[in-house]
Amino acid sequence: MTTSSSTFDVAVEPAFDFLSPEYAELFVGSAATAFQHPLWLHSLYTKLAFHAGAEPLVIVARRRATGALAMVLPLLRIRRGPIRTVEFADLRVSDYLAPVCSPEVFSDLLRDADACAEIRGLVRPFDLLRMTKLPDGRLAIENLLAAPRRVVMDTNAYATVLVAPFEQWRTSALERSYQKELAKKYRQLQRKGALTFSCCDDSASVRDALDVMRKFRGPRFQSQGDGDLLQRPEYYDFYSDVAVRGLGSFVRLYAMKMDDQVIAAVLGLCHQSSFLVIMSAFDIDGYKSQSLGALMFEQVARDCIERGDRMLDFTIGDEPYKRLFGAQPSPMWTVTEAGSTIGAISLFALKQAPWLKLAAKRMAEFRLSPTRTSTPTR
């Protein structure tokens, strides 16, 4: 039941400092995901929002008695054609979206009628409210915003539980025939030259690996919409900034080399003993029969286990290879609400006609490009 306890002060802070000590402290004690990490959101708002024509809508709740930071809701206002949308700070790079606060504080906010009313007022006006990629119901954003109940998305996230030692995980997660196949291909790969696998440990190696990833991914995704995000300067700048700043703590960039040349790379985030894969690239043309991707993920799993990680998270997308590594699906959720007649018409059309949904996605991608799926192109 909601009461008017007036425990919180709520405001929009468009210039909120995500690198501040108070946000770092809030994030550590929150139920947020890796995609609300200080470095990630700082770079998203500073590197991508302007190019997308997005207006920062950072809603901040503070304890009235002390001024202490209690919750941050990192949102954006984006106009897509005639539609004014409000959504989480995503811009096609984030896989999991959530308010930044603890479950206990979130419950306190829901009991504060004045705070809830303030938040709902600050979110408006909009034609369409879109809260996608919600991983679970721990922080029910729909209750905070008085929006309709969440519905399941048409794609899942996948993660595999890691156990030590590596051999035990490999035996339990991979089919025996697949283990033998990968072992055979790894031996074949070793015979081609000096094969190494490592985690980048300086900014120069990070940028070298990202350059190679961009080269490998360009032709691969050329036929998908407007191609690979890494080909676009603002997105390359975003990923480079996050990778270099977070190296050794928040980010790992793995590279497999043949005779000192990168032939495969995996970029991911470290959060709460999990490694979240966000981008990968492989020299498919040069090693067509070696299953470079599978061999690379096997080595990534080995390194994660040796570091003490408990989860290898392949994030959003229903690609079949994830199940080969014992990854299990988890549903993803979305909350949508119309705030105007044109928003209601758009929402109805999106729900009724799949081809219109695809058209809307294309329009969104067009809006993000200053010159002219989210997750699938990553």
Fold of 163-309: Aminopeptidase (3.40.630)
Q: CB of 95 within 8 A of CB of 276?
A: yes
Positions of CATH 3.40.630.30 in the chain = 8-153+332-377, 163-309
Per-residue pLDDT tens digits for 139-176: 999 999 999 999 999 999 999 999 999 999 999 999 99
Domain 8-153+332-377 class in CATH: alpha beta
pLDDT, tens digit (0-9, with 9 covering 90-100), for 219-263: 776 655 557 899 999 999 999 999 999 999 999 999 999 999 999
What mean pLDDT comes out for the span 203-217?
95
pLDDT band at 182 (very low <50, low <70, confident <90, very high): very high
pLDDT at 374 over 80: no
pLDDT at 4: 45
H runs (alpha helix) in the chain = 21-28, 38-43, 103-110, 113-123, 141-145, 166-173, 176-190, 203-220, 233-246, 292-307, 321-324, 341-352, 354-368
| Residue range 174-193: mean pLDDT, rounded | 96
Cβ partners under 8 Å of residue 13, min gap 6: 58, 59, 60
* pLDDT value of residue 369: 43
